[in-house]
C-alpha cells in the first residue's frame, strides 16, 4: 500500500536508536524527507545517510532545543508536514525503573517532565505555524501505556506521559479544523536500549530478582506485565503504526490513541 508520503517533510525526535530509528527508516523507505533529531548520531542512523536524511544534533532537554530542531528542518527542506515526538524515557543521567513514589526528588520530576512532556510541547509550538503555512500536517506523540495504567514504579515518567496523551486530544480539537491531525501511539515494553543496554531496565530488574538479563527480557517481564503475545514489542511494530498515522491514508484519524503493547492493557 502506497502511504503517499513521497516528498513529505518529517521531523523525528529521539531518532538515533530504537523506535525513533525504526520510524526514520520507515519514513525514508516511503519517500519522505526526514530530519532525524538526537544529541549524537549512531551507526544505525549513519547507515541511512543520503540526500533525503539530515541529522540535527540537538539536545531536546534544553528549552531551546525543540525550536532549534524545527528551524533546522525548515532550513534543510523548506517546511514541515510531519512531526513525530518520540524522544522520551530516562532523561540524560537518570536510570529507570525507579521503585516507589518517594524515590524521585523534585529535580527528578523536573528533568522527567522537561524531557518527556515539555520537549514535545515546545516542538509542537514551533511546528504548528510551519504546518499551517503548508495547509496542514500530522503530529504523532509517542506516549506510554503507563499513562493509562499507572503503577508504583516510574511514577514521574507515567505522569509526564499522561500529560502528553491529554495534550494530544486537546491539540486535535483545536487544530483538526485547520488541517493538522494529532494522534498518540502508546507502546508497551519495547525491546530498545532502555531495556537492553548495560545498566538498563533489564539489569536493574535482574539485580532485584536474582535473574540474568536474558531471562528478564524473555520471561520475567512478559510474565510480570501479563503480555498476551509473551514477548516485548519490536521497534518496527511501533514505526509501522506511526507511518500509517502520518499518512494521508489516515485523513480522518485524529485525537486517537493507539496502544501497541503486546496485549498489556487488554482493551475491549
User: Radius of gyration over alpha carbons of the chain, in Å?
Assistant: 18
β-pairing, 257-260 vs 180-187, is parallel
Could you give the CA distance from residue 25 to residue 88 in angstroms, rounded to a whole number?
A: 19
Positions annotated as catalytic residues are 157, 161
DSSP per position, 232-259:
PBPHHHHHHHHHHHHSGGGTT--S-EEE
3-class DSSP state of 213: helix
Cα 201 from chain centroid? Answer: 18
At 181, which helix (H) or strand (E)?
strand 180-187
Evaluate whether 263 touches 250 at the Cβ level (below 8 Å): no
Per the listing, cell 498515522 goes with 245
Amino acid at each position: 500500500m502506497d502511504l503517499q508520503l513521497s516528498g513529505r517533510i518529517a521531523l523525528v525526535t529521539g531518532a538515533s536508536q530504537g523506535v525513533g530509528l525504526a520510524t526514520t527508516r520507515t519514513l525514508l523507505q516511503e519517500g519522505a524527507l526526514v530530519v532525524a533529531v538526537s544529541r549524537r548520531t549512531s551507526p544505525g542512523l549513519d547507515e541511512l545517510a543520503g540526500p533525503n536524511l539530515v541529522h540535527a544534533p540537538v539536545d531536546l532537554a534544553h528549552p531551546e532545543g525543540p525550536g532549534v530542531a524545527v528551524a533546522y528542518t525548515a532550513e534543510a527542506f523548506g517546511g514541515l508536514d510531519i512531526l513525530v515526538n518520540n524522544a522520551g524515557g530516562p532523561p540524560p543521567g537518570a536510570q529507570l525503573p525507579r521503585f516507589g513514589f518517594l524515590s524521585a526528588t523534585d529535580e527528578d520530576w523536573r528533568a522527567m517532565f522537561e524531557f518527556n512532556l515539555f520537549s514535545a510541547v515546545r516542538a509542537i509550538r514551533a511546528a504548528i505555524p510551519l504546518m499551517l503555512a503548508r495547509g496542514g500536517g500530522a503530529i504523532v506523540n509517542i506516549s506510554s501505556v503507563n499513562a493509562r495504567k499507572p503503577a508504583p514504579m516510574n511514577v514521574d515518567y507515567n505522569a509526564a506521559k499522561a500529560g502528553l496523551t491529554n495534550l494530544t486530544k486537546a491539540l486535535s480539537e483545536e487544530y483538526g479544523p485547520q488541517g493538522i491531525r494529532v494522534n498518540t501511539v502508546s507502546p508497551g515494553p519495547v525491546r530498545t536500549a532502555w531495556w537492553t543496554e548495560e545498566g538498563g531496565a533489564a539489569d536493574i530488574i535482574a539485580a532485584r530478582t536474582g535473574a540474568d538479563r536474558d531471562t528478564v527480557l524473555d520471561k520475567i517481564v512478559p510474565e510480570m506485565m501479563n503480555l498476551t503475545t509473551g514477548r516485548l514489542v519490536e521497534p518496527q511494530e511501533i514505526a509501522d503504526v506511526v507511518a500509517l498515522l502520518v499518512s494521508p491514508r489516515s485523513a480522518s484519524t485524529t485525537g486517537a490513541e493507539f496502544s501497541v503493547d503486546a496485549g498489556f492493557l487488554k482493551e475491549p
